[in-house]
């Protein structure tokens, strides 16, 4: 499946921005070059949150697992362009599944283990997967049980196979271990590969993103688009060959999958971590001699403020930590730089990795926390090779380009790391891209200079009302549509409120029916029955007599935020 236009493919390949190597090609190259080196490790505490013991795989061992699993997927009928849904914690089986799916030219679409039936059914309705790989045990939760109780296979007859990586007594479920019983070096896999053309322009993954729309949107990305995003991080962060990389989050979105891409580009060791646990994480950093990892700003702030912890941990091998999803504190970036660790300030989304403030563009940590390089803006070159491949501009509410310094506008981006359009949503694509092919991010920036050698971007805020809680995107409209289904509620609006640890939390503002009363617990009990993910549930509840609106009837969420502050 190719979602990119022939003209764009031709343009980017002629410029040398895209190539012919798939992500699987990168892995095969690494496996051939260093078969006995450790490639992939499980979380050391794996047995505490899911089934199975922690394993360490060399490149040769990992290649064998991937080839056998690819052959097993062929055996159950998975072919090129078929979609395979993944809902797994951050364990070795997740990385193996990605590689095996890629090996046969199928498409991976991942879901968070925090998602429940509400999110699952929407993703299945949009993607029509042919197989679903999951577990019967994540902290005691059985995803196979969830799927079968929801009657998913009856609702989606295209879903032929449910695969469990852990022991399952459910009828009709295929064992992951049974699939590994296939021999990938002989038989059906070599023959299939000889007969099947798999391109770097084919879709590798479809991730799910939340924006202002009520339902999550599918974001298809090819190997070429992922590799381009990986080069941005590698160049901006100085992530060198054979790096030891620690991924603290499952591979479900840009922030985590680009870590997986770093591993493929550098040919190092990928160490998995889950669920996030600071002592376990720090011990992995020490034992695995980690060079690169990613952490949200709140965790970085907490680590730097805890002098007792800092004095007892060994961070000497860590060179770079990627961060983002919320503003960075200058004292934090400065504090880590004093310890010899560069913090990358990353601005991006599933739609595209856009701007990265690294030590090359901003040696001064205070600048790096505040600004982003104006890659692709008029007259700006940037200081890393990939910077010349980006095009950026700011537009006003009428779509006109803003050239004046200090005048805020919506950030629009274009380049090899930017997606080509939402999956099966031409209606959204018409609104999301302008006539020049720029993607409109919905985020507001201004172009600044202040005597600097080159212009830089200053992040102002989100044009959209998206809530980002601990790095997870929450679309208010999705929640609002569920909440107004409660018989006691006439109207509802959802807003985010600031939180030191998570960046934002969710507040539900509701207009109740006459003579009705309601509590937060009652509302969340209703949402639990709807199968809503835990992290999306409101943590504050504000009943009001009416929702403030403008002359066109649009709810004024800025006034709701003010009301929340006054009532806190």
Q: Please, what sign has the CA dihedral across residues 197, 107, 411, 433?
A: positive
Banded model confidence at residue 514, pLDDT cuts 50, 70, 90: confident
**Which of 242-251, 301-310, 478-487 shows the highest mean pLDDT?**
242-251
Bridging pattern class, strands 83-86 and 107-110: parallel
Residue 267 lies in a domain: no
Which is higher by pLDDT, 475 or 553?
Answer: 475
Q: Residue 86 sits in a domain of what CATH number?
A: 3.40.50.980
Instruction: Note the pLDDT of residue 242.
Output: 96
With CA atoms as reference, report the closest residue to 28 among 239, 182, 223, 301. 223
Q: Which helix (H) or strand (E) holds 222?
A: strand 217-222
Residue 93 lies in a domain: yes
Q: Which domain holds residue 63?
A: 23-33+42-198
Q: Mean pLDDT, to the nearest integer, of 498-519? A: 92
Instruction: Note the pLDDT of residue 152.
Output: 92
334-354: per-residue pLDDT in tens?
999 999 999 999 998 899 988
Residue 491 lies in a domain: yes
Q: Mean pLDDT, to the nearest integer, of 357-363? A: 94
Residue 222 lies in a domain: no
Q: Of 198, 222, 246, which closes a domain?
A: 198
Tokens of 258: 């680009």
Count other C-beta atoms under 10 Å from residue 552's C-beta.
5
187-224: per-residue pLDDT in tens?
899 999 999 999 999 999 999 986 555 678 999 999 99
Instruction: Note the pLDDT of residue 213.
Output: 55
Residue 488 lies in a domain: yes
- Tell me the pLDDT of the chain averaged across its residues: 92
Distance CA 149, CA 391 (A): 48
58-94: per-residue pLDDT in tens?
999 999 999 999 999 999 999 999 999 999 999 999 9
Does the structure show a pLDDT above 70 at 553? no
What total of structural domains would you count in the chain? Answer: 2
CA dist 35 to 31, 39, 63, 268, Å? 5, 9, 9, 12
Virtual torsion, Cα 365, 366, 367, 372, nearest 10 deg: 80
Instruction: Note the pLDDT of residue 539.
Output: 96
Residue 478 and residue 216 in contact, taking contact as beta carbons nearer than 8 Å: yes
Q: Of 166, 198, 230, which closes a domain?
A: 198
> Got the DSSP string for 27-70?
HHHHHHH-TTSEEEE--TTGGGTBSS---EEEHHHHHHHHHHHH
Q: Of 165, 198, 231, which closes a domain?
A: 198
Report percent pLDDT > 90 for the chain. Answer: 75
Distance CA 419, CA 429 (A): 11
Which is higher by pLDDT, 481 or 117?
Answer: 117
Residue 406 lies in a domain: no
Instruction: Note the pLDDT of residue 554.
Output: 66
Residue 72 lies in a domain: yes
DSSP 377: S
Distance CA 275, CA 293 (A): 15
379-437: per-residue pLDDT in tens?
888 899 999 999 999 999 889 999 899 888 999 999 999 999 999 999 999 999 999 99
Q: Mean pLDDT, to the nearest integer, of 49-59? A: 97
Opening angle at CA 281, ends 278 and 282, nearest 5: 85
Tokens of 105: 């030219």
Distance CA 441, CA 460 (A): 13
Site of tokens 């003209």: 7
149-185: per-residue pLDDT in tens?
999 999 999 999 999 999 999 999 999 999 999 888 8
CA dist 537 to 12, 142, 493, Å? 42, 21, 13
Give the max Cα distance, the chain: 72
Q: Mean pLDDT, to the nearest integer, of 84-106? A: 98
Residue 513 lies in a domain: yes
Helix residue ranges per DSSP H, 176-321? 176-179, 188-195, 223-237, 254-266, 278-287, 297-305, 307-310
Q: Residue 561 sits in a domain of what CATH number?
A: 3.30.300.30
Site of tokens 């509410």: 397
Q: Mean pLDDT, to the nearest integer, of 518-538? A: 95
Instruction: Note the pLDDT of residue 210.
Output: 67
Residue 346 and residue 253 in contact, taking contact as beta carbons nearer than 8 Å: no
């Amino acid at each position: 499946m190719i979602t990119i236009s022939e003209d764009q493919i031709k343009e980017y390949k002629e410029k040398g921005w895209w190539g012919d190597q798939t992500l699987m090609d990168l892995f095969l190259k690494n496996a051939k070059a260093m078969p006995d080196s450790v490639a992939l490790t499980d979380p050391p505490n794996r047995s505490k949150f899911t089934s199975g013991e922690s394993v360490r795989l060399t490149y040769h061992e990992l290649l064998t697992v991937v080839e056998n699993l690819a052959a097993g997927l062929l055996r159950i009928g998975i072919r090129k362009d078929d979609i395979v849904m993944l809902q797994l914690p951050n364990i070795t089986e997740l990385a193996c599944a990605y590689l095996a799916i890629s090996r046969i030219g199928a498409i991976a679409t991942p879901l968070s283990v925090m998602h429940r039936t509400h999110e699952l059914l929407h993703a299945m309705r949009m993607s029509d997967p042919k197989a679903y790989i999951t577990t019967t045990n994540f902290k005691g939760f059985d995803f196979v049980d969830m799927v079968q109780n929801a009657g998913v296979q009856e609702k989606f007859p295209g879903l032929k196979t449910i695969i469990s990586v852990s022991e399952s007594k459910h009828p009709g479920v295929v064992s992951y271990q049974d699939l590994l019983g296939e021999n990938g070096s002989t038989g059906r896999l070599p023959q299939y590969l000889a007969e099947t053309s798999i391109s770097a322009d084919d879709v590798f993954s479809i991730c799910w993103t939340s924006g202002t729309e009520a339902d999550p949107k599918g974001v298809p990305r090819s190997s070429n688009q992922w590799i381009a995003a990986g080069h941005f991080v590698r160049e901006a962060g100085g992530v060198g060959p054979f790096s030891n990389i620690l991924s603290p989050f499952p591979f479900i979105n840009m922030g985590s999958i680009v870590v997986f891409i770093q591993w493929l580009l550098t040919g190092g060791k990928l160490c998995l971590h889950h669920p996030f646990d600071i002592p376990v994480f720090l011990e992995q950093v020490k034992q695995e001699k980690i060079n690169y990892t990613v952490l949200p700003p709140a965790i970085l702030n907490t680590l730097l403020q805890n002098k007792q912890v800092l004095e007892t941990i060994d961070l000497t091998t860590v060179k770079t930590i990627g961060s983002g999803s919320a503003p960075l504190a200058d004292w934090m970036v400065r504090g880590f730089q004093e310890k010899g660790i560069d913090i990358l300030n990353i601005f991006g989304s599933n739609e595209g990795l856009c701007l990265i403030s690294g030590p090359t563009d901003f040696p001064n940590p205070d600048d790096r926390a505040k600004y982003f390089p104006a890659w692709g803006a008029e007259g700006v070159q940037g200081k890393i090779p990939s910077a010349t491949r980006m095009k950026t501009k700011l537009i006003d509410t009428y779509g006109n380009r803003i050239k004046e310094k200090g005048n805020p506008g919506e950030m629009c981006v274009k380049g090899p790391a930017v997606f080509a359009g939402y999956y099966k949503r031409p209606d959204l694509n018409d609104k999301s891209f302008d006539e020049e092919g720029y993607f409109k991010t919905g985020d507001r920036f201004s172009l600044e200079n202040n005597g600097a050698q080159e212009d830089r971007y200053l992040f102002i805020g989100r044009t959209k009302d998206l809530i980002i809680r601990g790095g997870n995107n929450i679309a208010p409209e999705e929640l609002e549509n569920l909440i107004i289904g409660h018989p006691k509620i006439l109207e509802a609006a959802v807003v985010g409120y600031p939180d030191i640890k998570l960046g934002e939390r969710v507040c539900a503002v509701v207009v109740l029916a006459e003579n009705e009363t309601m509590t937060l617990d009652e509302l969340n009990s209703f949402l639990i029955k709807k199968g809503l993910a835990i992290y999306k549930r409101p943590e504050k509840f504000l009943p009001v007599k009416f929702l403030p609106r403008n002359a066109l009837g649009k709810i004024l969420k800025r006034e709701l935020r003010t009301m929340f502050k006054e009532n806190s």
